[in-house]
Chains A and B, each alone.
Chain A
């Protein structure tokens, strides 16, 4: 086996198929997007090279920055919600009764498709017949909020299902990581008189720090490029109040035929994600992995 695997040709042969597919489906389109971003193009006819003008327009486009602010808000909320997921996982991994059941309960929203979740929450938020407003009127609130129509709250109304949707995913990751914490460490800490809080904070968390870093990156990048639920529930409306970068990009490219500009937005989003990932890794970098 070792002999085979050290043969460069064989290695190349094994790596090649995945590499080709990845090139074809991911990296080449990225390069093309960058290229289209330099064009004035309606996505249909011929292109015209305009250099960096799309990017110049982007910098002064207030609608874009508004959508970027919404995306960043989503990223912040997602990261904050990670704390909640972590607490739930800590409790679940503490070998309580029914932990397995709860884990499954939390995971189920992840199994639903985004469109189904969106439809479900649109029903919940329905201004007159929705569960939410029915509940509020039954306890005496006469003018319950218009969850998806009020420009001041629509964004937060959509954040809730998004965060709900991904709860299971992160809880699963944390749970798995916490289960990998060696039992001896927990046992010996307990013998030394550590409280459950101390065990969690001082022993378990440092040991899964690597996983936490990864989830922060996942949550931030996932939020920045988030699209589906928002598109189905409001299409970025009313009047751009729930627009995010990805939906703005889509509208530019496909609704208003500014394919070049849409590509520039997409490419900018990619760069933004790369930079933010880099910053997060720098900020959370520790000198060495904690080991006990």
Chain B
């Protein structure tokens, strides 16, 4: 009897161990084939381009593993994933003692996971972060390593102006950008032609376009404001065109006030647009994805979104060719009497790469980041339609016209205002985003809207 009891117990214990082991570390089972480095690999060591640690690597280097966490799974971003895999393979070939281990998560899970592993101080050696407000707590918590030592002059100047700076905290760079986006207003030329409309050049033209479309029963603008940053883009542009590029920036960096007449006027203008039925019905409950599909099904004529959406209107074979041909973009028009310039863009870097401060393989990780950023810059735009944070020579690449136009606009841009919710700290951003929804929903007056922003920003000073 005893025996039976113990057998059962042993089985139970074993199961427990398995369960716990499975929860524990998933690194162990993803170990790719062990590096059975033979003579061949010893030979390639010489070709290694190593900056700095030239001491012992001529002989035998200890095998190291770089853990790399990214957010481009095969399913949703196959092109991104392929380039990442290629770059990793190249890097591993050049540094035979290095193995890169991947952990891949979807966007939202990625954000949660990053915070959780960070609170346990177990960040991957290399990972992805967003700029400014998102990464600041990580830097203040001493989780990210400074990348200043790999930024030699040549590398430093390869970034598009102002983009790397978005990853600085107190003048020190803690991550390097992989993506850069600006937000043009995409529009459907087929719908515009049908009603004899052209791309608006002034804000009054724009209002005329809106009114004409409404009169004809066409939804002018697809907007998925459930996400809230989508509505923020509209507000940011109006603030920029009315108050100039410094109005909003100054309010956020506290050299100015949010209760600025221009910022209030921009809020009024948003409600004016809402009252004109410029935006799709029910926008506050729609996701960006739902809004996008309204635009892509030609139920709405305009759609303001980041240039990350360009592949949908150019190279994506899954989208109807006729529709892709009919999509064009215009720059957000200037407002009469406003201080803004048409070449000022709302946009900003997407994800960037960081190196963990507590990484055991910091040197290798930094080399990996540098190599990755350089190679990514060469491949991303052509192979995945991602505008990289590094400069792209538009003459040298073969791209659809719409892409080239956006890249050229980027080179002509005289200002790039970083997405407001990225500029702000996380808790102020939350206030801003909720207020955006309230503003669009007519639940807050423009004055209160500005006042509540001012209070939230002032509370953090």
A residues with CB within 8 A of B: 1, 3-4, 10, 13-14, 17, 20-21, 42-46, 122, 125-128, 146-151, 154, 234-235, 237-240, 251, 254-259
* Chain B interface, DSSP helix/strand/loop, else mixed: helix
Residues on B with beta carbons closer than 8 Å to the beta carbon of A44? 115, 118-119, 137-138, 140-141, 143
Min CB gap A235→B, angstroms:
7
- Distance between Cα atoms of A257 and B143 in the complex (Å): 15
- Distance between Cα atoms of A257 and B429 in the complex (Å): 11
User: Which single member of B12, B111, B119, B438 contacts A259 (CB below 8 Å)?
Assistant: B119
- Please state if A149 and B282 are interface contacts (CB–CB under 8 Å): yes
- Please state if B441 and A239 are interface contacts (CB–CB under 8 Å): yes
- Distance between Cα atoms of A53 and B246 in the complex (Å): 37
- Please state if A3 and B1 are interface contacts (CB–CB under 8 Å): yes
Residues on B with beta carbons closer than 8 Å to the beta carbon of A10? 2, 5
B residues with CB within 8 A of A: 1-2, 5-6, 9, 12-13, 16, 19, 111-112, 115, 118-119, 137-138, 140-143, 225-226, 228, 280-287, 290, 299, 426-427, 429-430, 434-435, 437-438, 441, 443
User: Which single member of B287, B299, B427 contacts A256 (CB below 8 Å)?
Assistant: B427
- Distance between Cα atoms of A186 and B44 in the complex (Å): 87
- Distance between Cα atoms of A255 and B16 in the complex (Å): 34
- Distance between Cα atoms of A102 and B287 in the complex (Å): 35
Given contacts A4-B5, A44-B137, contact A149 B119 (CB under 8 A): no
Residues on B with beta carbons closer than 8 Å to the beta carbon of A154? 285
A-B contact pairs, 16 of them (CB 8 A): A3-B1, A42-B141, A43-B118, A44-B119, A122-B287, A125-B285, A126-B282, A147-B282, A148-B226, A148-B282, A148-B285, A149-B441, A237-B434, A238-B438, A238-B441, A257-B426
- Please state if A17 and B437 are interface contacts (CB–CB under 8 Å): no
- Distance between Cα atoms of A149 and B279 in the complex (Å): 13
Residues on B with beta carbons closer than 8 Å to the beta carbon of A20? 16
- Please state if B137 and A257 are interface contacts (CB–CB under 8 Å): yes
- Please state if A151 and B443 are interface contacts (CB–CB under 8 Å): yes
> What would 7 more interface pairs be, CB under 8 Å, given A146-B281, A148-B282?
A13-B6, A43-B115, A44-B140, A45-B141, A147-B282, A148-B226, A149-B441
Residues on B with beta carbons closer than 8 Å to the beta carbon of A128? 280-282, 299
Residues on A with beta carbons closer than 8 Å to the beta carbon of B9? 13-14, 17
Residues on B with beta carbons closer than 8 Å to the beta carbon of A254? 111-112, 115
- Distance between Cα atoms of A257 and B427 in the complex (Å): 7
Closest to A21 in B: B16
Residues on B with beta carbons closer than 8 Å to the beta carbon of A149? 282-286, 441
Min CB gap A142→B, angstroms:
11
Residues on A with beta carbons closer than 8 Å to the beta carbon of B118? 43-44
- Please state if B12 and A237 are interface contacts (CB–CB under 8 Å): no
User: Which single member of B1, B16, B285 contacts A238 (CB below 8 Å)?
Assistant: B285
Residues on A with beta carbons closer than 8 Å to the beta carbon of B5? 4, 10, 13-14
- Distance between Cα atoms of A151 and B282 in the complex (Å): 11
- Please state if A235 and B226 are interface contacts (CB–CB under 8 Å): yes
Min CB gap B32→A, angstroms:
30
Min CB gap A1→B, angstroms:
7
- Distance between Cα atoms of A251 and B143 in the complex (Å): 22
Residues on A with beta carbons closer than 8 Å to the beta carbon of B111? 254
For A1, A154, A238, the residue with the greatest tally of chain B CB atoms inside 10 Å of its CB is: A238
Min CB gap B44→A, angstroms:
39
Residues on B with beta carbons closer than 8 Å to the beta carbon of A13? 5-6, 9
Min CB gap A239→B, angstroms:
4
Min CB gap A122→B, angstroms:
8
Residues on A with beta carbons closer than 8 Å to the beta carbon of B13? 17
User: Which single member of B115, B285, B426 contacts A127 (CB below 8 Å)?
Assistant: B285
For A17, A125, A239, the residue with the greatest tally of chain B CB atoms inside 10 Å of its CB is: A239
Residues on B with beta carbons closer than 8 Å to the beta carbon of A259? 119
- Please state if B443 and A127 are interface contacts (CB–CB under 8 Å): no
- Distance between Cα atoms of A31 and B174 in the complex (Å): 35
The 4 closest A-B pairs by CB, nearest first: A45-B141, A127-B282, A148-B285, A149-B285
- Please state if B427 and A258 are interface contacts (CB–CB under 8 Å): yes
Closest to B13 in A: A17
Closest to B15 in A: A17
- Distance between Cα atoms of A42 and B441 in the complex (Å): 31
- Distance between Cα atoms of A46 and B6 in the complex (Å): 45
Residues on B with beta carbons closer than 8 Å to the beta carbon of A240? 434
Residues on A with beta carbons closer than 8 Å to the beta carbon of B426? 255-257
- Distance between Cα atoms of A43 and B430 in the complex (Å): 17
Residues on B with beta carbons closer than 8 Å to the beta carbon of A256? 426-427, 429-430
- Distance between Cα atoms of A229 and B226 in the complex (Å): 15
Min CB gap A204→B, angstroms:
40
- Distance between Cα atoms of A122 and B291 in the complex (Å): 13
User: Which single member of A46, A234, A251 contacts B285 (CB below 8 Å)?
Assistant: A234
Given contacts A234-B226, A238-B226, A239-B443, contact A127 B286 (CB under 8 A): yes
- Distance between Cα atoms of A14 and B13 in the complex (Å): 10
- Please state if B437 and A239 are interface contacts (CB–CB under 8 Å): yes
Residues on B with beta carbons closer than 8 Å to the beta carbon of A147? 282, 285
